[in-house]
Structure formats: structure tokens, C-alpha cells
Chain A
Amino acid sequence: MITAERKPLEEILQSVSSFDRILIVGCNECVTVCAAGGRKEVGLLASALNMSMLKAGRPVQLTEHTLERQCDPEYVDELAQLVTGADAILSMACGCGVQELARRYRDKPVLPALNTKFMGAAERPGVWAERCAGCGNCVLGVTGGICPIARCSKRLMNGPCGGSGNGKCEISDEVDCAWQLIWDRLKALGKTDLYEQNMDAKDWRPAGGGGPRRIVREDLTE
């Protein structure tokens, strides 16, 4: 999923300071799962903003709404009426959702309430970690299901660097050395021969180095 965290309240307050009617829009997808921008978080932010504004002697009108998905036009369309009654939209989705709102409602300022972080998985309740860098050319099949691009600090493609010690990365004791994980996993699978295969220099064009990426599925286009 795409993970995100709420921006500091002070930054959000500053971004909406010139508006009297604010529509706060959450998303029921990834940001709900990572507890950053779902219905509950929309309620918490609305409550926090309401109290901050009351305290400052400048009460505002806050409307809460959470969409099934904020990055799809058909869901974003349902906001039309609520948007009419708002001076600005505060989006609690990832950057994709913010941009979809901005594309659909061109005459309204759309402001992000979250910082989008990474594509990750839950390690345990309340902890998410980066797992995929969206490089466009997956190598997990030869690295034992552990991504050296997302999980090695140097994105090394052929084994660890000299900073690997006791299974940890030199940047922090809390960061596993991805190549240690890969080696352990390949050993467990009896596939250490895969480790010996040198990978070519990575072509970063499918990873975004060739400009913004798109997927076109002709069978689904209208």
C-alpha cells in the first residue's frame, strides 16, 4: 500500500488560514489502512482544526467527507456539490488523490494534509516499512523475494557492501542488510546459485528515469 503521515497541525493551519469554508476529504484505501487519512483521521483533523480555530477566535465551517477512492475520477465526481460550498479542499489522501482532486476541481485550491511516504507493508500493528520502489522491472524472483532496490540503502544489485555487519546495515542497527536477508532466504530455499548470477547494471528508465510513467491497457480503454 501507499503509506502516509499527517503533516504537523501548524503547517496545515497555515495552509488553510485564508479560507472560511473548508472541505476535508479522506480516502478509504491505503491511507485508511495506515491510519493516516481515513474517516477516523478526517474526524480527528476536523476536530483539531475546529478547536485551533475556535481558540484563535476565527471559527470556520468544516465539512468532512471520505471517498471510496480518491485517485479515481468516478469517485471524485461525487464531491461536486460539497466542493461548490467550500473555499478550499484539504485532502487526506496520498499525492495521487490530491492531484486527482486538483485535476477535477480546477477552480478550488486543493491542499495536502498528509506527507506521502512510500510503498510499504505492515511489519506489525502500527509499524510500516518500505518494501517496493516501483522500479518497473521486478527482480524479486532472483533475490529470494526481498527487494535490494527498496531495502538496500545503496540499492546495490550484486551483494552487500562493506557496511553490512551482523545482518544490519551501517546506517542504523534498526535496518536489516537487504543482501544478508536475500542470502539467508536463498540458502533456505536451496537457491544460492541465483546469488552467483551477476545482474547487469540496472536500467532506471522504467523506474521513472525516462520521465513520468503511464500504463495503457488497450483492452480497457474507451
Chain B
Amino acid sequence: MAAPTPELEPVIVAFCCHYCAYTAADQAGAQRLEYPSNVKIVRVPCSGKVDALHMLRAFERGADGVLVAGCLEGDCHFSTGNLRARKKVAQVQRLLEEIGVGPERLELLLVSAGMGSNFARAAREITQKIRALGPSPISEAIAARAMNRA
């Protein structure tokens, strides 16, 4: 009998705005709310500062999913950074479609600083979704190259 395939442990990069999403993640921790360690947080000054290049490079370097998390609409510390983030995420989703990496691997999440439980739930949901999708074709290709070299 073939050995069971180990469950995929996806790498998900979460760009979190300092003022809301990062604080929400922090609150989730303070409340002892569990969310998967697959979600690796990168703190940024504002979700609007997350460039298309940041998102794309994350996938290029093997991330299976990317989350851009900012403040609720109307609550951005810099007024409209979260709305810019929404447009940039849509732009990168179109580019991912062109490349052949599923655009559903990139998500936008808007939460307030007090929504720790929402952040933890979103982290669990995206991890489940990416696990169901399987590894990104890029992370698979990177792993295959590493195997060939070994």
C-alpha cells in the first residue's frame, strides 16, 4: 500500500497594515485565538503601500498564497490606502491569471484593529482554501528544481 501523501503545509504571506490588520493579528494572539502558523505576517505601514511587485515576488519565491490585509473602508489611517490596495490586488490577480497561477491564491482582507477573531478566522479559512488548492505551480517547480539539483 502506498504511503499516504503528507498534508500540504502551505506558505501564506500576509502583508498586514500596522494600524488595523497587524493589531488585529496581535489581538488574536493576546486573546489566545489559534490560527495556523502557515500564515507568515509581514508588517507594513499601510496596505496601500503593498506594491504589485511585493505580491508577485512572494509567489515567485514560493508562497502558495498571499493575503493583503488592511483597515475597514473609511478607516484607513492614510485615508484611502486600503482602497488602493483593493485595486492593486485586482491588478495582480489579473496578472496571476495570465501567468497561470490561480488568482484565487491572492486575497484582500479588511479588518479593524479590534477584530482579532475575524483575523484568526480569515487566516484559518485562507489556509484551508490553499490547502485544498494544493501547492502553487511555482512552489512545486521550485521544489522540483531543488530535488533535481540534490
B-binding residues in A (CB < 8 A): 8-10, 40, 43-44, 47-48, 50-52, 54-55, 57, 59
Contact = CB atoms under 8 A, between A and B. Distances in A.
A55 B56 contact: no
B51 A40 contact: yes
Interface of B: 51-53, 56-57, 59-60, 95, 98-101, 137-138, 141-142, 144-145
A47 B60 CA distance: 7
A51 B53 contact: no
Nearest to A10: B98
Given A40-B51, A43-B53, A44-B53, A54 B142 contact: yes
A59 B142 CA distance: 10
Contacts of A59: 145
B97 to A, nearest CB: 10
Contacts of B59: 51
Nearest to B91: A44
Chain A binding surface SS class: helix
Contacts of B141: 54-55, 57
Contact of B99 (A40, A43, A55, A57): A55
A3 B145 CA distance: 39
A52 B56 contact: no
